[in-house]
Structure 1
Amino acid sequence: MTQPKMAKISRIRQLSPIWVVPIAAVLIGLWMLYNHQQQQGALLTLLTADAEGIIAGKTQIKSRSVDIGQVVSVELSRDLKQVIVKARMKPAITALLNADSQFWVVKPQVGRGGITGLNTLLSGVYIELQPGDSTQLQLQHQLLDTPPVAPADAPGIRVVLSTKESGGLAAGDPVLYRGYEVGTVEYSEFDLSLRRTQYQLYIREPFDVLVSENVRFWLSSGFSVDLTAEGLQVDVGSAATLLTGGVSFDLMQGWPAGSVVADGTEFQLFPNKQSIQDGLYSEFVEYLVFFDESVRGLKAGAPVEYRGVRVGTVTSVPFFFSIDKPFEVSLQQGIPVLIRIEAGRLYENLTLAQLRQELEKAVGRGMHATLKTGNLLTGALYIDLDINQEPVQDVELLALQAQQFSLSQSAGYPMLPTTRSGLSNIEQKVLMALDKINNLPVEQLLVQSEQTMQSTQILMQNASSMVAQLDALVANPKMQQLPAQLQQSLQDLQLMLAGLSPGSAAYDRLNGNLQTLDQVLREVQPLLQTLNQQSNALVFEAEAATDPQPKRAKQ
């Protein structure tokens, strides 16, 4: 029996044409997959706390109103603390997805700038893309709650304002320079570590050159009224600040501009423009004053003036720190008030040592503090300083000042003497006058007045009786005939005088008699002289008188 031979098997080297079809199908599928991948673009991931209005497969992503992508999924994160929104972008805009790009949801809202997003009422919300300048590709971004004020690459400058108090600013509030809007508040945040509120401001070009190192920023409330001891101050801002408020900046009067600051420079935010001026006087000398009168109307921040020129500020009313038994001090020594004399208000380059020396000299010359009314409408008070070179003579006042000086030394402050204001002096004098009036013997005066009135009444009755008698006398017919008789007597006297007038016979006879009498007197005069010298000349013959001889003068 013969064994069978093994068959020779040979492989076919020729490729079967049937494999062309699957190979072609695989190649076409790979090409289609690559083409689809190229046309889809990058897959963007957005993180947000709330996905209100965002719908997968419907919500579009736009930039300048052009569709550049679409949301493909909206789901919660694994820790359930945020929402993950994934969107497929178009291939041509991959360069826009950089590290500086910003995304936010556009929807209808009412803000400080008015009503925005009304076009989304029918079409639904969409996501807006604002590209940045960075060249680094980034496919994961945080979805902003509010739209940014300006693009990151917008020409201008951004500065940071810091304040310890809440300024009441919000994103979108205007930034003003002398009433003209030059920028916008971008955002605000509270720093827990520093316990300060910070605001970022964007000031657009070309106004960014106005922000120099010496500018100051303050809140603009739109409309403010301030009644102080200096009077009524009304500040009216622009129409924008009247509704929303804002922040203003400018150089203080007389200040140099300084160099232009860099982007991101931090400034202090002041509550108002007046506080900027007050904050400049950081060097001062404090004094403690005691007032033994009412300090109602005197508040911290009130001015301290010297003959009408402001030299300081009231710091605390009342000041009870470091003082034991404050109520007892207020009753006995007066209400303590802390003031400060500021070196910058007097003249430049004045050191504190020089200021203390000058103030000590002024106190030695009699400088004292007085409360005065600064505004009659509000009753606001201020402290006025003046110099009285007359020494104090009142023993009680000197003892009171010694006690006040001891208290101020124990509190660690120098003391400034005080005097009562003019109104207080007037009030004191009025009280003293009232006391004197109260001490008058009023009852005795009333009794005497009553007696005087009775005497006056009796006198008036007597006067009335006398007047009645005079009326009766005048009414008597004989009194009425008296004028006629007087007139007849005057006529007779006139006739008699007419008989004695020059030219009449009686006047000529009287004149002749007077001339004869004169002649007789002349003839009798020698006889009278002889009898005067020798009384017996009528009996004995009188000796002839010799002529007088002149005498020689004595040597």
Structure 2
Amino acid sequence: MTQQTSAKVNRIKQWSPIWVVPIAAVLIGIWMLYNHYQQQGALLTLLTADAEGIVAGKTQIKSRSVDVGQVVSVELSHDLKQVIIKARMKPAITDLLNEDSRFWVVKPQVGRGGITGLNTLLSGVYIELQPGDSDKLQLQHQLLDSPPVAPADAPGIRVVLTTAETGGLAVGDPVLYRGYEVGTVEQSEFDLSQRRTLYQLYIREPFDVLVSENVRFWLSSGFSVDLSAEGLQVDVGSATTLLSGGVSFDLMQGWPAGGAVADGSEFQLFPNKQSIQDGLYNEFVEYLLFFDESVRGLKPGAPVEYRGVRVGTVTSVPFFFSIDKPFEVSLQQGIPVLIRIEAGRLYENLTLKQLRQELEKAVQRGMHAALKTGNLLTGALYIDLDVSEDSAPDIEQQALQAQQLALSQSAGYPMLPTTRSGLSNIEQKVLMALDKINNLPVEQLLVQSEQTMQSTDALMQNAAKMVAQLDKLIANPQLQQLPAQLQQSLQELQRMLAGVSPGAPAYERMDSSLQTLDQVLRELQPVLQTLNQQSNALIFEADVTADPEPKRAEQ
């Protein structure tokens, strides 16, 4: 039997060179993997509500038309409320990804500024990057719905406008200074806590120096028409505002510019320029008026004038606040209207105490209010104040004014006396005249008129009969021959008068007889004078008397 022996194994302690190849391959792989991650750059996360047009592995991220990254994945969030977009950026772009950076999708759009993004019709949409100035790195951003108006580092100033009214402005609307475009509306946001709208405006350099403490902003509509008691006002804006509107700002007339404002300052947005002027008169005295005529056409904001000069504004029509039984008050005392007399409209540095004192003196002198027509087209009314020194009101009017005064005092306002307007007085007089006419004995007048007409008819019939008789008389042949006979008689009279005309024998004989008669009368004159002095001178011889001699004048 053969004896078996075990083999002796000796371990080789020498390192084999064959291992160099796999180790080198592993090291090269690690280096390549490290270099690959070094070349990839940061992984950016974008959040949006809709990923329309964005495709993983295709959609590019650009900045100023240069590729700076690519979308690698598009996924829904766990709550399915938004889309998570992940994009791999180039290494050199990492410094631009800060908290001020903005991202939005560039695609074809038709807006107020025209048509944009037409180059994406063939290449597809892409995401635009707008770098910020912050030094803080941020790799997660919200994808904006619309592009920002201006870069965050653009030179200029940004201000915030606040208003209680919604609408009227949109992102991209122009900001105007005296009709010249100097900026743009950047953002629009509604504050739920304070229930107001916030607008962020960007005003570019060098026009940012125009924004000072005392400037005022107002909505600038393209075309507006205001037909009120003050007349027709037409405001036509620029071609830009005609299509989209905008916001304007300027200093009010006579105001100082004030100091410069910081970036992000807040201003109030007024609905129009006129409302800015009205808002300056914030010191006033309120009065309650009672009108016993129609107030149709009188609206809040209507002017209160004193002999053509505006001194206040109508506040409320009708004013039933803190007044019990308003319908009964309207029937008995009149419709209450609240007005305010504004101190700033009279003269500067007028205190409310001085204003109240002057108004009380004016009421004592007979100042009253009346409704006047401000616009015949619209029927708009305004309140006119005037001082009248007419006679004192009668007992009925005094009682009514006492009731109105008690109501105004209970409501907490002083009362201003009122009177009817001119048209109302005319209307009242016309009604009174109609009442008097209605009270006239019309039936009796009609009966008398009928009798008069009958008498007139009878008279006309008699006149017709008389005219007929005259016609018969004129038609009589003897009456028709009468003119010829008269003419013949006149001719004979003319021939007779021609016989006694100067130069005719009869005329000469008559003239000689008259001269003889004159001579006889002259001769008889002494005889008659003697008989006048002595009636028996024809029987007895008359005494001869000397002629009277005139007396000589005394010396």
Please state which band the TM-score falls in when normalised by the shorter chain. Answer: over 0.9
Instruction: From the superposition, tell whether residues 514 and 302 of structure 1 become closer, same or farther in structure 2 (CA, over 3 Å).
Output: same
Residue 83 (1) aligns with residue 83 (2): yes
Residue 69 (1) aligns with residue 65 (2): no
SS at structure 2 position matched to 1:305: strand
How far, CA to CA, are the matches of 2:471 and 2:373 in structure 1? 67
In structure 1, the residue matched to 2:365 is 365
Q: Offset of 1:70 from its aligned partner?
A: 0.9
How far, CA to CA, are the matches of 2:275 and 2:333 in structure 1? 33
Instruction: List runs of 5+ in structure 2 lacking aligned partners.
Output: 1-7
How far, CA to CA, are the matches of 1:51 and 1:168 in structure 2? 30
What is the identity, as a one-letter code, of the residue corresponding to 1:96?
A: L
In structure 1, the residue matched to 2:108 is 108
Instruction: List runs of 5+ in structure 1 lacking aligned partners.
Output: 1-6
Q: Offset of 1:53 from its aligned partner?
A: 2.9
How far, CA to CA, are the matches of 1:101 and 1:372 in structure 2? 62
Q: Offset of 1:91 from its aligned partner?
A: 1.3
Query: Greater CA deviation, 386-395 or 95-104?
Result: 386-395
The TM-score normalised by the length of structure 2 is 0.92
How far, CA to CA, are the matches of 2:539 and 2:215 in structure 1? 140
Q: Offset of 1:553 from its aligned partner?
A: 11
Q: Offset of 1:203 from its aligned partner?
A: 1.5
How far, CA to CA, are the matches of 1:487 and 1:51 in structure 2? 132
Matches within 5 A, 1:341-352: 341-352=341-352
How far, CA to CA, are the matches of 1:385 and 1:80 in structure 2? 68
What is the identity, as a one-letter code, of the residue corresponding to 1:180?
A: Y
In structure 2, the residue matched to 1:3 is none
How far, CA to CA, are the matches of 2:544 and 2:333 in structure 1? 114
How far, CA to CA, are the matches of 1:504 and 1:476 in structure 2? 43
Q: Offset of 1:318 from its aligned partner?
A: 0.6
- Decide whether the 8 Å contact of 1:367 with 1:387 is kept in 2: yes
Residue 282 (1) aligns with residue 282 (2): yes
SS at structure 2 position matched to 1:341: strand
Q: Offset of 1:65 from its aligned partner?
A: 1.7
Instruction: From the superposition, tell whether residues 325 and 11 of structure 1 become closer, same or farther in structure 2 (CA, over 3 Å).
Output: same
- Decide whether the 8 Å contact of 1:167 with 1:271 is kept in 2: no
How far, CA to CA, are the matches of 2:157 and 2:472 in structure 1? 114
How far, CA to CA, are the matches of 1:529 and 1:406 in structure 2? 112
- Decide whether the 8 Å contact of 1:167 with 1:219 is kept in 2: no
Matches within 5 A, 1:170-249: 170-249=170-249
How far, CA to CA, are the matches of 2:309 and 2:167 in structure 1? 32
Percent pairwise identity: 86
SS at structure 2 position matched to 1:506: helix
How far, CA to CA, are the matches of 2:444 and 2:374 in structure 1? 47
How far, CA to CA, are the matches of 1:368 and 1:550 in structure 2? 96
Please list the CA deviations of residues 141-164 of structure 1 after superposition, one character each: whole Å capped at 9, or x if unmatched.
Answer: 222222111110112211100011
What is the identity, as a one-letter code, of the residue corresponding to 1:429?
A: K
Residue 427 (1) aligns with residue 427 (2): yes
Please list the CA deviations of residues 251-309 of structure 1 after superposition, one character each: whole Å capped at 9, or x if unmatched.
Answer: 22333333332211111011112211111111111111111111111111111111222
How far, CA to CA, are the matches of 2:312 and 2:299 in structure 1? 13
In structure 2, the residue matched to 1:354 is 354
Q: Offset of 1:102 from its aligned partner?
A: 0.5
Residue 135 (1) aligns with residue 135 (2): yes
How far, CA to CA, are the matches of 1:398 and 1:385 in structure 2? 20
- Decide whether the 8 Å contact of 1:69 with 1:90 is kept in 2: yes
Q: Offset of 1:16 from its aligned partner?
A: 5.1
Please list the CA deviations of residues 32-55 of structure 1 after superposition, one character each: whole Å capped at 9, or x if unmatched.
Answer: 223212211111122223333332
Q: CA RMSD in A?
A: 2.4
In structure 1, the residue matched to 2:493 is 493
SS at structure 2 position matched to 1:327: helix
What is the identity, as a one-letter code, of the residue corresponding to 1:294?
A: S
The TM-score normalised by the length of structure 1 is 0.92
Q: Offset of 1:25 from its aligned partner?
A: 2.8
In structure 2, the residue matched to 1:382 is 382
In structure 2, the residue matched to 1:4 is none
Please list the CA deviations of residues 498-522 of structure 1 after superposition, one character each: whole Å capped at 9, or x if unmatched.
Answer: 1121122222222222222222222
In structure 1, the residue matched to 2:397 is 397
How far, CA to CA, are the matches of 1:388 and 1:291 in structure 2? 18
- Decide whether the 8 Å contact of 1:366 with 1:391 is kept in 2: no
- Decide whether the 8 Å contact of 1:61 with 1:129 is kept in 2: yes
Q: Offset of 1:545 from its aligned partner?
A: 3.6
In structure 2, the residue matched to 1:291 is 291
Instruction: From the superposition, tell whether residues 10 and 463 of structure 1 become closer, same or farther in structure 2 (CA, over 3 Å).
Output: closer
How far, CA to CA, are the matches of 1:547 and 1:410 in structure 2? 120
Q: Offset of 1:204 from its aligned partner?
A: 1.8
